[in-house]
Amino acid sequence: MLQTQTPGQFAKAPGQDEEFDARVKIIRKAAMIAAGLFAGTVIGGVTGLFVYANSRTPNAHDGVFAVIQILGVVFGFAMGFLAARGAEAQDQQNEVSQRASISMLKKYKPRPGAAGHSNVGQRVIGPADNAGEEFLKSLLNGSTKTK
């Protein structure tokens, strides 16, 4: 999926991001509608050909084929339009979610010198039992007794 720029990213002039985002959204909508039109045309054509394949006199069903083809195009346009609207709604939902997450990160960012965040991850529960470390210290100090 084509992602638009985030605010402040690669911005050369103010207002350029909004123009770029608007162009990308229009191109994306147009592409979805065009894909829907293409799919509707193909589906209408295939369905219309079934009418011809099951007919003894194909010339009698030219009007039926045209109606089926038109319905296929309209159906494809509607599906493309609904897909474009759904993508637009999803983008708006993502933007709202992103703004909320940034505000939460700013709200709960640990501040330097704050008492609650000064020793995060350094809490030791109970006495530290390091017999191996004590033995190594005694070896280095030469205080071991040999018998």
pLDDT value at residue 81: 94
pLDDT value at residue 73: 93
Q: Got the DSSP string for 51-73? A: HHHT-S-GGGGHHHHHHHHHHHH
The pTM (predicted TM-score) of the whole model is: 0.56
Rounded (to 5) percent helix, strand, coil in the chain: 70, 0, 30
Q: Got the DSSP string for 74-97? A: HHHHHHHHHHHHHHHHHHHHHHHH
Task: Please tell me the distance from the alpha carbon of residue 95 to that of residue 20, in angstroms, as a whole number.
Answer: 16
- Tens-digit pLDDT string for the chain (147 aa): 555 555 555 545 556 688 888 899 899 999 999 999 999 999 999 998 888 777 777 677 788 888 999 999 999 999 999 999 999 898 889 888 988 888 888 777 766 655 555 555 555 566 666 777 777 788 788 765 555
pLDDT value at residue 143: 61
pLDDT value at residue 127: 62
